[in-house]
Amino acid sequence: MSDSDKYPADSGRRRFVKGVVGGAALAGVGTTGAAAVNSATSSTGSGGGPTQAYAIENTGGPAPRGMPQIPIEIDDEGYIRGVWPEVQTVTQNGVEVELAITEDYQGTGVTYSQDWFQYCGVQTYDGLNPTFESDNYFRSDNGAYDWQSETYSAGDRLNVNDFDEYETWGNGIGQAGLGMPATGTWRSQDTEDTMPIQVLRSTRIEEAAQDNEWLAASTDQGVIAWLNKCTHFCCVPGYKQAASSATFGGEDGVYCQCHQSVYDPFSIVETLFTALPRPSE
């Protein structure tokens, strides 16, 4: 865990959180329980607490868990955006605060909330303010892949039609034809806080979504996205970005060069972690 992943020194609060994590684990971690805890553990800010999220699985290295998925939508023109949960006003410790939380995401029973992204300092970012003004489209950064930097300028919106070689794409790292990637940002316009994201369009995701309710609801046309912040010490990993990834079995996965963590973007798992509260304003 990084320093920023640790709770402030508030012994009463920490004790309470630990107790609840144990209890929730025994009870099978119901999302209702997690939501109830949210409203009780936020003496230093909004949200946070035990959180169940969908993530791309961590399969190697020191990272403690997967990176959180961002459910996506594709508009009529093909532009890809990350879904931001509904903004709701909830009462925490007698104070009304706003939280972005959708309790039954597209009828899947999944609670999707901003808590999914509240780690590694991201909880302090402007984009994590529930009411931050954004169209939520993914925008290209400088482009980690040749095809991407040839297609987009930084700031251009990612469009599914530009991923048309997704069935065959390769760049010499690992196996070709697994999926076509791009890197970008989300909810990061007009702020210095940049939320890095990675998008991947793959036939594997298309196929998996056919008999998986969550993937059917959170991906589209084979496109999946996640917040690209390593859960170890918060570096920005990459899918097929480092030739050295092969040494650590990460050539067909998402590899973090900092300490060799590997994630599998084709294995979406539920993960439980303690989200950090958004600081009080």
Which residues make up the interface to ligand FES (CB under 6 A)? 61-63, 230, 232-233, 235, 256, 258-259, 261
Q: Strands of 160-203 (E only): list them.
A: 180-186, 195-201
Dist CA 100 CA 71 (whole Å): 14
Q: Is 6 exposed, middle or buried (0-12, 13-18, 19+ CB in 10 A)?
A: exposed
Closer to ligand FES by Cβ: residue 119 or 152: 119
Cβ neighbour number for residue 36 with a 10 Å cutoff: 15
State the residue for tokens 């912040």. 229
Strand order across the beta sheet in which 112-113 lies: 87-92, 95-102, 112-113
For residue 121, what are the contacts with CB-CB under 8 A and spacing of at least 6?
4, 234
Closer to ligand FES by Cβ: residue 215 or 236: 236
Give min distance, CB of 218 to ligand FES, in A: 24
Closer to ligand FES by Cβ: residue 22 or 64: 64
Give min distance, CB of 264 to ligand FES, in A: 15
Closer to ligand FES by Cβ: residue 108 or 245: 245
Give min distance, CB of 251 to ligand FES, in A: 16
Closer to ligand FES by Cβ: residue 61 or 222: 61
Dist CA 27 CA 117 (whole Å): 24
Which helix (H) or strand (E) segment is 131 a member of?
none
Give min distance, CB of 123 to ligand FES, in A: 17
Give min distance, CB of 145 to ligand FES, in A: 20
Dist CA 86 CA 206 (whole Å): 26
